[in-house]
């Protein structure tokens, strides 16, 4: 499960990376960048299949359109690639509403004799990578419209399997446009996803302070000694 990430870049760096722009009113409203500790329920930039020229802020944790309560989003922060076409919460979205979600790192916790040790995992071939995602639009009982997303997860590559039994579905740069292609059936889009190449992944230990969502500063991404 991927439940904590980082995006320590500025909006201008993201705009250059994706050739897309932010809406100025959303930047003023949310202003979440840079973030060293991105957590579920927070607003985070994504690029959707129906607006590839803009980075927009969606809530992390999918809220299906039929949901009665916003709290369901806490249970749907991730969607397993093995079952995404079968689950009612995800099936419609993966067919019609796909997105890419930018990060520059994510965290996983390894179980040890001394408790859980967090690792930060980064890509070495690109400074900003993307995770394949799905998105939804939900209207609250108070008539508030909320856009939300879920990250697709898969089995880990060899580099990470000693840390955790899942990893996010990181896309190679050349796969990003394909994932957003509305003409590409979900079955075909999912077939191109595979664990990210070992040679493009680095993992290192970081402070346990990252476990507290209230902590959000550069010290969280610093490597600690064994």
- Active-site residue list: 2, 108
Beta strands in 140-174 (DSSP E): 145-154, 167-168, 170-171
Beta bridge partners of 120: 107, 204
**Residues 6+ away with beta carbon under 8 Å from 119:** 107, 108, 109, 110, 163, 203, 204, 205, 206
Give the β-pairing of 145-154 and 78-80: parallel
Virtual CA dihedral for 62, 64, 65, 70, nearest 10 degrees?
-70
């Amino acid at each position: 499960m991927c439940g904590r990430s980082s995006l320590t870049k500025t909006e201008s760096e993201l705009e250059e990376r994706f050739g897309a722009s932010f809406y100025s009113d959303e930047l003023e409203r949310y202003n979440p960048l840079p973030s060293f500790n991105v957590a579920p329920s927070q607003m985070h930039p994504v690029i959707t299949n129906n607006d590839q020229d803009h980075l927009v802020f969606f809530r992390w944790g999918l809220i299906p359109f039929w949901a009665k309560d916003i709290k369901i989003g806490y249970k749907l922060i991730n969607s397993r690639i093995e079952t995404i076409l079968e689950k009612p919460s995800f099936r419609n979205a993966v067919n019609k509403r796909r997105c890419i979600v930018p990060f520059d790192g994510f965290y996983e916790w390894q179980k040890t004799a001394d408790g859980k040790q967090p690792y930060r995992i980064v890509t070495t071939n690109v400074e900003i990578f993307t995770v394949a995602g799905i998105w939804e639009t939900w209207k609250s009982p108070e008539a508030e419209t909320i856009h939300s997303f879920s990250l697709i997860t898969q089995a880990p590559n060899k580099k990470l399997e000693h840390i955790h039994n899942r990893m996010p579905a990181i896309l190679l740069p050349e796969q990003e446009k394909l994932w957003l292609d509305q003409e590409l059936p979900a079955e075909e889009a999912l077939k191109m996803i595979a664990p990210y190449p070992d040679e493009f992944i680095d993992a290192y230990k970081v402070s346990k302070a990252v476990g507290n969502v209230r902590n959000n500063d550069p010290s969280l991404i610093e490597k600690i000694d064994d």
